[in-house]
Amino acid sequence: MIRPTSGGGGAARPDAIRRHNLALILGHVHRDGYLTRAELTARLGVSRSTVGALVADLIQLGLVEESVPSGGDRVGRPSHVVGPREHGPYVVAVDVDVTHVTSAAVAIGGRVLSRFTVPTGPDPGSPEHVADLVVSAVDELGRLVGRRGVAVGVSVPGTVDKHTRTVGVAPNLGWQEARLGDLLTERLGGELPVAVGNDADLAMLAELSRGNIRGCRDAVYLIGRAGVGAGVLVNGQPVTGRDGRAGEVGHNVVTADGPSCHCGKRGCLETMIGDLALLRLAGREVEATEQNVAALFDDARAGDDTVLAAVREVAGWLGQALGNLVNTLNPQRIVLGGSLSGVLELARADVEHALEQYAFDPGHPVELMLSQLGPDSALMGAAELAFADLLEDPFVGQVTSA
Ligand SMILES: [Zn+2]
């Protein structure tokens, strides 16, 4: 809902409406990068002078800047474009996975200013240890970028209660009721706002903002790493459940006598389609790192029959899982991330065949797509989470970065 504001000139402007429209402009620039004033005027449905006043406010807040694009071959007066400010605020995004912790400084517009990955072996350790890693990352990125971040967003492979910022269950980390948000706030001395989210939920958020879920109202992002989980969008809203445990489809039991799962049960979906399943089926007894999984896919592309058979077996289980998701949620689109995007790329026909077999209405269309942000989906989603308050109210940034 776009609400018009007066374009200045002395009339009192209701603060909430002005902030709402500032947030809308910042949101457009954040998701789309550089936009002309004319484009912003059309998108907001307000007058050109109103957009001018709002852009001036955002420039004053240090969030956007205006420039004249060079090298264009357009005839006539060059149009100013509004884009994210080059040296504007950035957030610290952290992706905690089973084998590594990746941290990045991400600016408005999603530009990564600096990043690094710390390999953590087969297990990143206790919540306290991970909190220490995140605090080190905040400091290190501050040094690398030359200024401090304004907020922290952390993605974890576990259920997260967004209100308490507690990780309820993270089977592959061995965490239960880990108060990660509080640990981080304590360690950072309350200096920065900290938000925590589930990796699949955040990956979905990132693809919704700047990836392959853009414009969808009903979609699923299924992530496959050491664990498997779903980020679910229903009627334009993320589905988290009562306390963040929705979307844990990786722990739906699909074969009662299957391999044992870190959650304590047997035959969970993730034991059949997660990274470890791929490696096990391909006969590789190696750690489930991104590199080892990438090497497996390289061999499949090169025609290694054993590996291809493993990928096709996983594709069958994946198609079945997608059929169940389609029956439950009726999504327009399902985006596959992590190693599942490799499975779809190499064995789409097997995935689709199984999906047709298990879908209640086999002919009904659902779009299967690869993740646009690739391995960075959860990381970029953590950035989106950290930016949420600023995008909701651009004045928050002024307070935080002052
Ligand atoms: Zn399980």
Distance 293 CA to ligand 1 centre (A): 20
Residue-level pLDDT at 183? 98
Residues with CB under 5 A from ligand 1 (ion): 251, 261, 263, 265, 268
C-beta of residue 324 within 8 angstroms of C-beta of residue 366: no
Residue 260 CA to ligand 1 center (angstroms) comes to: 8
- Cα(317) to centroid(ligand 1), Å: 15
* CA 250 – ligand 1 centroid, Å: 6
Q: Which pLDDT value is given to residue 313?
A: 98
- Tally of CA atoms within 13 A in the half-sphere of 396 that contains its CB: 16
User: In this structure, what DSSP letter does residue 163 have?
Assistant: T
Write out the two tokens for 352: 């689709």
What is the per-residue pLDDT for 124? 79
| pTM score above 0.75 | yes
Distance 223 CA to ligand 1 centre (A): 15
List the structure tokens of 245: 């445990």
Q: Helix, strand, or coil here: 369?
A: strand
Residue 228 alpha carbon to ligand 1 centre in Å: 9
pLDDT tens series, the chain, 402 aa: 444 444 444 444 558 888 999 999 999 999 999 999 999 999 999 999 999 999 999 999 999 999 887 765 555 666 789 999 989 999 999 999 998 999 999 999 999 999 999 998 777 799 999 999 999 999 999 999 999 999 999 999 999 999 999 999 999 999 999 999 999 999 999 889 999 999 999 999 999 999 999 999 999 999 999 999 999 999 999 999 999 999 999 999 999 999 999 999 999 999 999 999 999 999 999 998 889 999 999 999 999 999 999 999 999 999 999 999 999 999 999 999 999 999 999 999 999 999 999 999 888 899 999 999 999 999 999 999 999 999 999 987 564 433
